[in-house]
């Protein structure tokens, strides 16, 4: 039984809604004990807004054995919000926080951060096996004092992970990113031989959790046509290819640098099991085009499995009851699969 902590994300977004829908429309995964990390009253408000008949059960600790039938388990985090004029943090009971759907609020950012902190603590202490996260709103998080670009970097900070990378899954693709939330103008300077080699090592170690013992990895170039022999840039010959050659010497089955405009098609044909893209949009556009509603974001390199929805907070539709839970369902299923395979001895 995989004990899965599901964080609510920004409570002003669609996180609470998709969690209620995903867990009340039938179990998205077998052999899973889902526990929602969230303020109970906010989840109750969402269930009432959706006119959902499922019962919510507040718990103080992760239970042993299967979950109660037709019940969503809620474990509350503690929360502090900067409310003073001088920026002092005051502890506020989650039940005392008022959240307006679709509006950026530092209180919502503080709740989202508290949920992440609680889930990571539970998992590092061995009370949960994996984490699945609903989306956060970075502006709300920063208003609450959050100093990280996003979920991925914060989770690495909390766990002390030095080697980590984002892996996007959906539509038949598995795509890792050499750089994550960086301005496009900075990407050429952020691409390094050592950085690419580390990402290839992570893919080589992580893809077997999908049931693929020896993954074949395709590596994107950064320039059009992978530089066209230096005509459009030399990053391929100067940085990317040497990293791939070192990876091969370590037994990592990697190929490239290859033109990004054809590499994703080649993976769909079966030539590769995973792709390493050089920057955010190069990797995310193909995945979101093929799997807009059920793509999954995975963080490699953590001491536990973490999956997430591959979409944002949906402030424009928050509170309207129209958000799709399909990405969250897929994220829960994948978290269970990866965790069960991770627990098995690897060949």
The answer to whether position 295 is within a domain reads: no
Are 148 and 252 part of one and the same domain?
no
Are 45 and 141 part of one and the same domain?
yes
Are 244 and 320 part of one and the same domain?
no
The answer to whether position 267 is within a domain reads: yes
Question: Which pLDDT score is estimated for 90?
Answer: 47
The answer to whether position 297 is within a domain reads: no
> Phi first, then psi: what are they for 121, rounded to 5°?
-60, -45
The fraction of the chain above a pLDDT of 70, given in percent, is 93
Residue 84: pLDDT band (50, 70, 90) is: very low
Are 323 and 198 part of one and the same domain?
no
Per-residue model confidence as pLDDT tens digits over 85-96: 334 444 544 556
Q: Please list, in sequence order, all residues whose beta carbon lies within 8 angstroms of the beta carbon of residue 103, skipping any fewer than 6 positions away.
A: 12, 315
Number of domains in the chain: 2
Question: Which pLDDT score is estimated for 95?
Answer: 56
The answer to whether position 210 is within a domain reads: yes
Q: What is the pTM of this model?
A: 0.91
Question: Which pLDDT score is estimated for 83?
Answer: 44
Instruction: Give the least confident one: 23-27, 137-141, 291-295.
Output: 23-27
Report d(CA 326, CA 148) in Å as an integer: 27
Instruction: Give the least confident one: 28-42, 75-89, 94-108, 172-186.
Output: 75-89
3-state secondary structure the chain: CEEEEEECCCCCCCHHHHHHHHHHCCCCCCCEEEEEECCHHHHHHHHHHCCCCCEEEEECCCCCCCCCCCEEEEECCCCEEECCCCCCEEECCHHHCCCCCCCCCHHHHHHHHHHHHHHHHHHHCCCCCEEEECCCCHHHHHHCCCCCCCHHHHHHHHHCCCCCEEEEEECCEEEEECCCCCCHHHHHHHCCHHHHHHHHHHHHHHHHHHCCCCCCEEEECCCHHHHCCCCCCCHHHHHHHHHHHHHHHCCCCEEEEECHHHHHHHHHHCCCCEEEECCHHHHHHHHHHHCCCCCEEEEECCCCEEEEECCCCCCCCCCCCCCCCHHHHHHHHHHHHHHHHHHCCCC
Are 344 and 234 part of one and the same domain?
no
* Average confidence score pLDDT of the chain: 91
Residue 249 in tokens: 């010497």
Are 61 and 185 part of one and the same domain?
no
Which of 249, 266, 290 lies at the terminal end of a domain, its last residue? 290
**Residue 232 maps to which CATH number?**
3.40.718.10
Question: Which pLDDT score is estimated for 228?
Answer: 73
Question: Which pLDDT score is estimated for 64?
Answer: 81
| pLDDT above 90: residue 230 | no
Report d(CA 302, CA 213) in Å as an integer: 20
| pLDDT above 90: residue 344 | no
Report d(CA 306, CA 133) in Å as an integer: 8
Question: Which pLDDT score is estimated for 89?
Answer: 47
Omega before 58 within 30 of 0, i.e. cis: no
Are 208 and 85 part of one and the same domain?
no
Pairwise pLDDT comparison (341 vs 65), residue with the higher score:
341
Are 105 and 41 part of one and the same domain?
yes
Per-residue model confidence as pLDDT tens digits over 305-329: 999 999 999 999 999 999 999 999 9
Question: Which pLDDT score is estimated for 81?
Answer: 57
| pLDDT above 80: residue 288 | yes
Contact 306, 132 (CB under 8 A): yes
Contact 34, 307 (CB under 8 A): no
The answer to whether position 259 is within a domain reads: yes
Residue 100: pLDDT band (50, 70, 90) is: very high
Are 250 and 269 part of one and the same domain?
yes
- Domain residue limits at 266: 172-290
Are 113 and 143 part of one and the same domain?
yes
Per-residue model confidence as pLDDT tens digits over 138-170: 999 999 989 998 898 999 999 999 999 999 999
| pLDDT above 90: residue 289 | yes
Contact 221, 178 (CB under 8 A): no
The answer to whether position 65 is within a domain reads: yes
Residue 236 to residues 37, 49, 166, 203, 274, Cα–Cα distance (Å) = 44, 53, 21, 20, 19
**Mean pLDDT value across residues 59-72:** 81
> Phi first, then psi: what are they for 109, rounded to 5°?
-65, -40
Are 124 and 224 part of one and the same domain?
no
């Amino acid at each position: 039984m995989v004990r899965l902590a599901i964080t609510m994300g920004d409570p002003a977004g669609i996180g609470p809604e998709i969690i209620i829908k995903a867990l009340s429309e039938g179990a998205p995964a077998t052999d899973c004990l889902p526990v929602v990390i969230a303020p109970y009253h906010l989840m109750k408000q969402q269930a009432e807004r959706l006119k959902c008949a499922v019962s919510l059960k507040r718990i103080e600790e992760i239970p042993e054995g299967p979950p109660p039938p037709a019940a969503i388990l809620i474990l509350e985090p503690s929360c502090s919000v900067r409310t003073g004029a001088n920026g002092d943090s005051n502890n506020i009971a989650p039940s005392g926080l008022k959240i307006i759907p679709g509006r950026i609020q530092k209180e919502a950012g503080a709740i989202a951060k508290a949920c992440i902190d609680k889930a990571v603590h539970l998992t590092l202490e061995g009370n949960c096996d994996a984490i699945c996260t609903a989306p956060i709103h970075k502006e709300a998080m920063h208003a609450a004092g959050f100093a990280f670009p996003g979920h991925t970097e914060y989770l690495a900070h909390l766990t002390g992970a030095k080697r980590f990378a984002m892996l996007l899954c959906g539509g038949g693709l598995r795509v890792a990113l050499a750089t994550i939330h960086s301005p496009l103008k900075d990407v050429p300077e952020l691409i390094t031989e050592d950085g690419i080699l580390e990402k290839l090592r992570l893919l080589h170690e992580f893809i077997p959790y999908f049931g693929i013992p020896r993954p074949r990895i395709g590596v994107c170039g950064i320039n059009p046509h992978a530089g066209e022999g230096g005509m459009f840039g030399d990053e391929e010959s100067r940085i990317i290819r040497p990293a791939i050659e070192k990876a091969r010497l370590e037994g990592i089955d990697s190929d490239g640098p290859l033109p990004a405009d054809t590499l994703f098609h080649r993976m769909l044909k079966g030539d590769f099991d995973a792709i390493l893209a050089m920057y955010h949009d190069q990797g995310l556009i193909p995945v979101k085009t093929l799997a807009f509603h059920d793509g999954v974001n995975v963080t490699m390199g953590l001491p536990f499995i973490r999956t997430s929805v591959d979409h944002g907070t949906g402030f424009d539709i928050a509170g309207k009851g129209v958000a799709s839970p399909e990405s969250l369902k897929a994220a829960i299923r994948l978290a269970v699969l990866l965790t069960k395979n991770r627990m098995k001895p690897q060949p």
